[in-house]
Structure 1
């Protein structure tokens, strides 16, 4: 029985802990998935800010988890010392983070309904000035990244503590990808953040940069698509959000043209 991805090698660049579902699905469709994280995730170098936030957890009204990595690098420390405060409302940018929270027994998560980014979260009624003014908000995130969420909530009158509970680093090189491109065996790549894309571009030699510009690149957000086109990529396919959206876009792609 033929599958939609027979003979195709597709690179999944999510952090390793979030790559398994996509990789397994690609295999089920007859393809070969190469998991090559463009963001290596590790615990924050300094645990003190997270520990300080845990000590005052009861003072917060809202706790925003930026990603599943934020959940996995903060909640074990929280739950090792105390229960989650019943009055503390959790919020998340995407459904993957909601799933990660559920694994720790935390539900009733504030989540955007159609688009999953900081802008969509900030548009929710629960994050407007009338609600957050003079309230304390905890943002659990990786080092670096966008400041839009914290800055906007401060402008709305909230007292915001943004705590980096994990680090993100680029891999040392892209040798596995370059070997596939040099062999003509890399058919598509899935990129789930603009930061990952920047890392990839910075790692490639000139030959592979040229290959990247003509390789189908699946991205789940308009901002990443815009970044990809700014780098000169010619086959940028914007999917729906999360793994389900990416899977649907990969299936719908006309592979006969490649």
Structure 2
């Protein structure tokens, strides 16, 4: 049961290499790439709006990478007076490795919904929060914190852009590779994949594959698109995905 990895670079290649080490056959087809976000140059100004005890929320590793490089370029450090939060463990680890700052994250399942259940964010009236994100992402974090009385500032640190492929050519290639399991880590990627594959191959092959997703929300979207064999991972980390793929493929 060969595996299709749709994670963007470099994490997609890293996951493929992990699977190859375990004797699994995997193919990487990234569907989006990243570039500098349009608001990155305003990061310092937005950090200066925060006071001691305010929140800094990080959506992804990509947000950290672009934001950290921006601060290095202008010669300033991450403020230590803030309370740092991230969606997932991998983002927390990256932030600690780059800055030495500890970042809290949800440990049950790594989603915005579970981050919002942390007690500090449940009772946050009167605080300010800076959210480091990409373009066109979900706004549940912003919207919920605002309803709780938080003054929310957002900074688009990176931009996601779709990669273009020949639809028929990619379909033939994936069928030849005997892909039976597909890994998808975001709704945007799932919809790009669904639109990439022509209808005949979509119904006869794609939605019949086992689908590994990283949240209940993503599983619900997949079911609406036609998938029935769906496994939900507790996070998008390559370690967790590798464990699930070894077990189920």
- Give the structure-2-normalised TM-score: 0.89
SS in 1 for 2:179: coil
| Runs (5+) with no aligned partner, structure 2 | none
Which residue does the alignment assign to 2:130?
138
Which residue does the alignment assign to 1:250?
245
Structure 1 distance, partners of 2:120, 2:39, is 31
Query: CA-to-partner distance for each residue in 1:80-122, whole Å, 9 max, x for gaps?
Result: 3312212112110101101211221233212112111111111
Query: CA-to-partner distance for each residue in 1:117-176, whole Å, 9 max, x for gaps?
Result: 1111111011123xx222211000001111111111111111110111101122112656
Which residue does the alignment assign to 1:193?
186
- Structure 1 outlier segments of 4+, above 3 Å: 45-49, 54-60, 174-177
Which residue does the alignment assign to 1:63?
56
SS in 1 for 2:130: strand
Which residue does the alignment assign to 2:198?
205
Number of residue pairs aligned between Structure 1 and Structure 2: 245
Which residue does the alignment assign to 2:215?
221
Which residue does the alignment assign to 1:35?
28
Tell me by how many angstroms 1:68 deviates: 0.4
| Runs (5+) with no aligned partner, structure 1 | 1-7
Cα separation, partners in 2 of 1:18 and 1:181, compared to 1, 3 Å: closer
Structure 2 distance, partners of 1:24, 1:224, is 25
Which residue does the alignment assign to 1:101?
95
8 Å Cα contact 1:181-1:208 kept in structure 2: no
SS in 1 for 2:77: coil
- Give the structure-1-normalised TM-score: 0.86
